[in-house]
Amino acid sequence: DGGITQSPKYLFRKEGQNVTLSCEQNLNHDAMYWYRQDPGQGLRLIYYSQIVNDFQKGDIAEGYSVSREKKESFPLTVTSAQKNPTAFYLCASNWAAVGNQPQHFGDGTRLSIL
């Protein structure tokens, strides 16, 4: 079955540590996205990529980094510069520049500080 796989489901970060969240899709989608969701809030865009080896900052990119070396993979690194990383992180994908195509989401990763 095609879909988006995020791992791990739960992640704990120590102070000063970088952690990487995995996102893999087998839908052959061009575009991929990372969102952050805080309790009782909507989703805020961190980074997005419409093509391999290219990505753009979203609204809250500070303290995060990404790479897009393969079409199916878009890992997100939460760096030690992100002072408040506790949140629910969602990865999404769709075909780029096809207006009525919805973004498909993974099941998310919950990140907490130890």
User: Which residues are near other proteins by CB under 8 A?
Assistant: 31, 33, 40-45, 48, 50, 58, 88, 90, 92, 94, 96-97, 99-100, 102-108, 110
- HSE (side-chain half, CA atoms, 13 Å) at 47: 19
Query: Would you call 21 helix, strand, or coil by DSSP?
Result: strand
CB of 42 to other proteins, least distance (A): 4
Question: Which residue's CB is nearer to other proteins, number 3 or number 62?
Answer: 3
Amino acid at 69: E
CB of 5 to other proteins, least distance (A): 12
Contact 50, 30 (CB under 8 A): yes
Question: Which residue's CB is nearer to other proteins, number 3 or number 17?
Answer: 3
Amino acid at 49: S
Question: Which residue's CB is nearer to other proteins, number 17 or number 101?
Answer: 101
Question: Which residue's CB is nearer to other proteins, number 25 or number 94?
Answer: 94
What is each CA distance from 14 to 18, 60, 114, in whole angstroms?
8, 21, 5
CB of 11 to other proteins, least distance (A): 14
Contact 64, 55 (CB under 8 A): no
CB of 66 to other proteins, least distance (A): 15
